[in-house]
Amino acid sequence: MIGGADIASLGSGSLVGFVLGLIGGGGSILAVPLLVYVVGVASPHVAIGTSAVAVALSALANLVGHARAGNVRWPCALVFSTAGIAGAAAGSAIGKRFDGQKLLLLFGLLMLVIAGVMLLRKPASGDAFRPLTRASAPGLLPRLLGVGGLVGGMSGFFGIGGGFLIVPGLMGAAHMPMIAAIGSSLVAVTAFGLTTATSYALSGLVDWHVAALFIGGGLVGGIAGTSVANRLAAQKTVLTRVFAGIVALVGAYVVWRGFASLVA
């Protein structure tokens, strides 16, 4: 029999999938708060581990479609991801040792920062895209490695996909057009998520039943979100701004709950 927690898991996964399909990213930042405050996962660490599994598999599914469409710049994506895997492994190891309530508080602050990045980020034309070649490597390679390692560390520490950090990083380092940065970012999101998920799973910090329901709901929500996105293609900027506002509100709520738990 399906219980209330199962329905909450399916609904929360559907919401995350819908947002991912609607605006091409960002939904994973809501996964941990939803798992803690809606589904009722008691341990923040289990919520992070479970979220990492769902994020990685969702990103992998989306990566297949973008790769078939030719939206992945593989040399840049692989270098970025390789550096990020090391960062994600280190970040997840540190995150598991961090107090759960303090981790949630920092997670809420990160949500506020990401909301600001979403609101302030300007679209790039991609006219100055620099593919990774032997000629461009001296300047481009250090930037890809540095940004990849930093974003991977944050992804592992907080258990997020990091798409809204990866996309600006790829656009800034290689001047990728938006669609190529989104497609290429999914290589890193998948790699970071699998690294974090493996680390947490080996420590027994993944609720596989909730993860399966979350992923199932996400697949349905993703189909619906993509359908709506195709109808509202001209309003993607407006949708992104609205979603940034939602992320900011949820982040403020998580910060408030985090402070309340620490002073209680």
**Phi, then psi, of 191 in degrees rounded to 5:** -65, -45
Identify residue 212 by its one-letter amino acid code.
A
Q: What percent of the chain has pLDDT over 70?
A: 91
Q: Which of 241, 221, 123, 245 is nearest to 181 (CA)?
A: 123
Q: Residue 255: pLDDT above 80?
A: yes
In the prediction, which pLDDT does 8 show? 94
In this prediction, residue 135 carries a pLDDT of: 77
> Could you tell me the residue ranges of all domains in the chain?
4-263
Helix (H, G, I), strand (E, B) or coil at 69: coil
Yes or no: say if 225 and 14 are a contact pair by the CB < 8 Å rule. no
pLDDT in tens, 22-43: 766 667 788 999 999 999 999 9
**Confidence at residue 115, expressed as pLDDT on a 0 to 100 scale:** 85
SS3 151: helix
> Does residue 66 surpass a pLDDT of 90?
no
Q: pLDDT (tens digit, 9 = 90+) per residue, 112-131?
A: 988 888 788 766 555 567 78
Enclosing H/E stretch for 132: none
Q: What single-letter amino acid sits at 68? A: R
* Residue 17 · residue 217 · CB < 8 Å: yes
- The overall average pLDDT reported for the chain is 85
Q: pTM above 0.75?
A: yes
**Helical (H) or strand (E) element with 98:** none
pLDDT tens digits, one per residue of 78-114? 999 999 999 999 999 999 998 888 888 998 898 898 8
Task: Give the residue among 256, 262, 260 at the shortest CA–CA distance from 109.
Answer: 256
Q: What is the pLDDT of residue 262?
A: 78
pLDDT, tens digit, for every residue of 6-27?
999 999 999 888 877 776 666 7
pLDDT at 61: 80
**Helices 208-231 + 4-23 axis angle, to 10:** 40
From 142, 131, 192, select the one nearest 163 (Cα to Cα).
Answer: 192
Per-residue pLDDT at 86: 93
Torsion, CA 66, CA 196, CA 114, CA 246, rounded to 10: 80
- Rounded CA separation 81/86 (Å): 9
The string of pLDDT tens digits covering residues 148-192 is 999 899 989 988 877 777 877 888 788 888 778 878 888 998 899
